[in-house]
A and B are shown apart, each in its own frame.
Chain A
Amino acid sequence: MFRQRSIQTLIRRPAGATPPPGLSAAAMLIAIIILALSGANAADDRNPFGRDPKAAKAGEYQFRINCALCHGLGAHGGGRGPDLTRPQKKHAHTDAEMFQVISNGIPGTAMPANGTNGQGVGMTDAEIWQIITYIRSQEVKAPTKATGNAGHGKELFYGDANCSLCHMIEGKGGRLGPELTAVGESRTRVAIIDSVRNPSRRLAWGLAEATKEFPQEYETVTVVTADGKEIKGVALNEDSFSVQIMDTSEQIHLLEKDKLKSFQKSRQSAMPVYGADLLNDKDLDDIVAYLSSLGAK
């Protein structure tokens, strides 16, 4: 049974279509005015809800249901998805672009097209716009300027802090840990600091099954081969019968589990804990400033 038609029905109606029966002329007129007004602005404002706080509230619930699994409660980013409270986003700037990204996903990333992640229900157009309104309401209007010295941060990254032994930026650095070129634009400052201070607190999450072919979780693996050789590194991939490991000297080992003397896997990160003794707050701030400057390009 259909209830009375909602604004959502109206929005989805193609231009020039007959007005839905039961909608009064006055309401229709108001709707037309609203649509016309919003259409008069930039492409950004194709969002029929604009910055309406009521829509943002509805969008918050939709966000929790559809997005928070990866992007975290409050859109601050999770183990999988970027922080969306940053006004500057990598793949979308205007509302219309965000709508496209949510509808179609981002090929080559874990971001699925609406309704295709295999778990949960797809969103209607109106619900997507509400989510965008909600994300806009959560954006930090004046992002705290990186207080650190990016130049010094870069020196540390490639020098004394030893970050580049395992992490690569723009093709330069090590391969054992996650590539960090885009980390500044996808993670909050708090999240970056936390993963330096407590690297094991949250390893990358493997993805939901529908897309789980995707990125590695950086689990630490220690094996002893049949001839007694110990190999320690991170798992690039694994199934019940084989494991693909990168060791600390970036050698790839392709191993069959039943031929190993022992196989141990741990969610203790291979990354050392950078306490304040190893890296003081000021230097860490400089490194974060360097990572954030990459994102600002």
Chain B
Amino acid sequence: MTGRGVGDLQNVKLVCKAFNRGGRGGTPRRSLRKIVGFLTICVTCLLFSSPVSAQVTFDRLVNAAKEPQNWMTYSGDYSGKRFSGLDQINTKNVHAMVAKWVYQTAATGKLETSPLAVDGILYATAQDDRAFALDARTGRPIWMYQRQLPGDIRPCCGRVNRGLAILGDKVFLGTLDAHVIALDAKTGNVVWDVAAADYRTGHSFTVAPLAVKDLIVIGISGGEYGVRGFIDAYDASTGQRKWRFYTVPGPGEPGHESWEGNSWKTGGAPAWNTGSYDPTTNQIFWPTGNPAPSNRGTGRAGDNLYSNSLLALNADMGKMNWYFQFTKHDEHDWDATQVPVMIDAGGNHLIAQADRNGFFYVIDRTTGKLISATTYGKTTWSDTKDAEGRPVANNQSSPTLAGRTVCPGALGATNFMAPTYNPQTALFYVTARDQCDIFSTAPQPYEPGHAYYGSAYFPSDEAEPYRGFLKAIDPATGQVKWQFEHASPTFSGVLSTAGGLVFSGDAEGNLIAFDAASGKPLWHFQMGGAVYAAPMAFAVDGKEYVAIAAGSAVYTFALP
């Protein structure tokens, strides 16, 4: 199903293009009447075309579900569902899907970008803060931007970027040298550029920002460098910072007592994955990452708030309404930086999050109270739950000098890869990993801009090989309804569509379409490079496309 109104307008635009083509190839003997007729139609075209390239308003973002041909935020809409309302490609015809175009970014390394699609234009990013706009029908670039980065940036985990935000006539990029920049959506020219923090102390941005009202919300990376994490909001027009929420409370603030001594100053709790937003309560839900040093609790006794937490922030002020901490006093690098997915079921307003620590949590998003926590993969760190139902760490999980095997391993039961929730099947789909690692302490002093782990991890010689899955979880029960085992673990995100399909990639380079109900693979395509990105869907000229980044390129697929 595509937005009929826009589709009609695009048909008019096509007529106009045809006339333009006629105009270019026309003969000088064309009669005045013809020319007048042509001009009349073209003016009509322009009038009717203008909404097609209309600005992306906050209202459009709130009502993103009404225009499923567009994909205007990182997760497709504010709810974080990564669900597309398009159904042209469905379980019956997906076997015929073919590659339509490929855009080579010329970047090396992992591509983690999730493109935006707005009115026939695709906006995406690549390594080293490249950004580009493509003709969504052909993959031909409209503009390209690459930031001139300082030579001494040291981003933690690849020179990656997960995508852009769009608002008005601008797109927004967080950079590896910790700037937030606005680019003109039509030209890629820099409109404003502000420094959020000093990159030399290990701050960087890799996250796709989220546009809310007239603000650009973005969270910092740098948990491996002992930064003090924060979430910022910038005025989309001027770049002026409107608020900052420090994810590690300072002296006098509630939660400060959860840090030993001065450890809060280097406490980590970065915010490097995109949150979701509830317009009805004007709350932003944003997840945070590991405390620092990531794998050593000595010296930072306490719960270490608000590391590994989900934060509910007032969008206008950045004030915290509630928090929920998934892993207290983490010593395994189990960032809670997964996209929080808003689900409304049976009159309940919930958030579901499959956490890196191996538990699937359902939380009441009005109060922040836990509803359920169930394992969805191999976990050994917790055998009991507290009074609120929260999994509690056992005494066999802290890293030791000799080393201690713990599951999940350092990469987690899942990680940053985007999950999806399909309202039609009422299932939550997530990429999962069964892996155990030996965690061994390796104390490090804090030095600005230096790695700050405090421990190391290794695969065990005797450990079972790592296993990777796509799992379909029923949020009502926490049960895994079906799972597909990949040839090896993957970092691919997941998309679900109204066509009854789930799309995900794998480490071997396949994009795979699954039956959302049964998990049966219905189609696959070998893209020739490992997937670290999440798929998305859009439509142009009434044709549905699925897009995903793999290797060094962005691929699109559609019916022939």
Contacts and interface: CB of A to CB of B under 8 A. Distances in A.
Interface of A: 1-3, 6, 8, 60-62, 64-66, 68-69, 72-73, 78-79, 115-116, 118-124, 127, 201-202, 205-206, 209-210, 212-213, 238-241, 267
A127 B154 CA distance: 14
B465 interface: yes
Interface string B438-479: 001011100110110101111101100100000000000000
- Kindly state the interface size class of chain B when it binds its partner: 35 or more
Nearest to B438: A73
A127 B491 CA distance: 29
A202 B465 CA distance: 11
Contact of A209 (B109, B156, B465, B491): B491
Contacts of B451: 65-66, 120-123, 127
Contact of A61 (B444, B448, B530): B444
Contacts of B509: 239
B510 interface: yes
A81 B265 CA distance: 37
12 contacts: A6-B447, A62-B442, A78-B458, A119-B411, A121-B157, A201-B462, A205-B459, A209-B491, A238-B487, A238-B508, A240-B508, A241-B510
Interface string B506-517: 111110100000
B141 to A, nearest CB: 26
Contacts of B526: 239
Nearest to B110: A118
B80 interface: no
B479 to A, nearest CB: 24
Closest 5 pairs (CB-CB, A-B) = A239-B508, A64-B456, A121-B451, A61-B442, A64-B442
Interface in B324-372: none
Prevailing SS type, chain B contact patch: loop
Contacts, number: 106
Given A3-B447, A3-B448, A240 B459 contact: no
A73 B200 CA distance: 30
B507 A73 contact: no
Contacts of A118: 109-110, 157-158
A158 to B, nearest CB: 30
A260 B303 CA distance: 52
Nearest to A205: B459
Contacts of A79: 459, 461
Interface string B479-522: 00000001111110000000000000011111010000000010
B544 interface: no
A209 B524 contact: no
> Which of B156, B411, B506 has the most C-beta atoms of chain A within 10 angstroms of its own C-beta?
B156
A77 B200 CA distance: 34
B510 A240 contact: yes
Contacts of B508: 238-240
A119 B524 contact: no
B154 A121 contact: yes
A120 B156 contact: yes
B538 interface: no
B520 to A, nearest CB: 11
